Amino acid sequence: MKKETPYDNESECGVLGSILLDPNSFTKNRLKPDDFYMMRHQVLFRKLQEMYINNKTLDAITIRNELNDNNLLSQVGGEDYLLELMDSTIVPSHYNAYQDIVLEKSKLRKEIKIFNDGLSKAYNHESGSDSVMSNLISLNVNEVVDKPLHEHAKDFIDACAKGESGNVNWWSNDWTNHLGRLKNELIIVHAPRSTGKTALILQWIFHLHVNGFVSPLASLEMLRSELVPRFISQYQVDTWFMRTRGFITDNEKTNSEKAVKHIKKMNYKIVDGGMDIEELRAWGIAQKKAGADILFIDNLLCINPDKKYDSRTSMYDHIIHQLKALRDDIKIPVVVLSHPNSDGGIAYSKNVENIADIIIYLMNVPYEGVKVDGNHIARNLDYKGEHVICKFQKNRQGISPVASLEFEQNYQTFIHKEWH
């Protein structure tokens, strides 16, 4: 009985037709050209992807001209085949379903090739079992053709010489001056509830917008309307007192109106509501394409499951790997908030410590002030108010300091006090 090569022509056509009908389908893409079985589909997908990355218009005319100019039109079946793909019963919103089938068939073909290569070596009395296992293990690893290491070294030195080793600021000038600018790190900020981590992120977003950075936020824990008082507080308005007192003074009204005008000018990009990791990745890619410099996600434990998992730990391990993949795809910093477990680690995930580039832990200090001497935290009467210790548990890019912050509850803002 002849065995057929695994592939699904309808799903391959579904992917390509979805892109032709709605180019934004690319925001959900996880495919590479060689995931397609049909050669003409590989050629067409590669050209569509190239046009999309280069911000070229994708429609029937521009695609036909691009293919024709590169002598590829006949290879993809001609203009008639393009029109056939667009006229078929394809639903662009089903893009994920189409590509999942294409990916599954692609993986099966690669497994078959690995086993066949191993069998061929065995019949030729060559050692093949080890290579079969290692190839199967690495099957899901994306191999990228990269430039030589010495060229990376030269790029790094040139960037440092030009002051371009990083692109994005931290939440305050003190931190940017001390730590350097961010480039494309995956950053986890975790803290117990009511420590001020959301306030710190909103202050960070405010600081970035004032300095011209586009910093979208996926607020999965709080609604946009719930964030409004915190944003207004950034303009030195005590919104908590305004709500509890039942009236506002003339000065508060003036400052609040200024805040509303400034918020409108800043054009904050905030999405709220539930998302699973695939929807979150699609959102992140779309934001990068729209000009984002950094992404914020609040928070890790509010990301919806995209399928059934054996445990919450395995689910969040999958999610953190996908967040790293998102960072790799968009090449800008991604900041994710989370809660700690009882021993100070990241809740539910065993792999965060290995995958994240920077891990920051916030904790309240129940004193009027603090001094840090090595591992000792002592009372410091020079400080007033609520104090937070900000500890870098990991920093792949450099030093791992401890910072003392003062939290002004009235204005939901942090003030950097000193490094330790």
Give the tens place of pLDDT for each residue, 187-233. 999 888 878 888 888 889 988 988 889 999 999 988 888 888 887 88
CA–CA distance, 342 with 48 (Å, rounded to integer): 49
Enumerate residue ranges in the chain where pLDDT < 70.
1-2, 88, 122, 125-153, 156-157, 159-166, 241, 342-345, 347-350, 366-386
Joined tokens for residue 218: 């996926």
Contact 229, 243 (CB under 8 A): yes
- State which fold the 9-140 domain adopts: DNAb Helicase; Chain A (1.10.860)
pTM above 0.85, yes or no: no
Torsion of CA 44, 144, 107, 115, to 10 degrees: 120
What pLDDT shows up at residue 113?
A: 83
What pLDDT shows up at residue 2?
A: 61
What pLDDT shows up at residue 30?
A: 85
Do 9-140 and 166-419 come out as alike in CATH topology?
Answer: no
CA–CA distance, 286 with 280 (Å, rounded to integer): 10
CA–CA distance, 342 with 192 (Å, rounded to integer): 10
CA–CA distance, 84 with 88 (Å, rounded to integer): 6
CA–CA distance, 65 with 69 (Å, rounded to integer): 6
For domain 166-419, the CATH superfamily is P-loop containing nucleotide triphosphate hydrolases (3.40.50.300)
What pLDDT shows up at residue 217?
A: 93
Contact 307, 318 (CB under 8 A): no
Domain ranges in the chain? Answer: 9-140, 166-419
- What's the chain's length in residues? 420
Residue 32 phi/psi, 5° resolution? -115, 160
What pLDDT shows up at residue 366?
A: 60
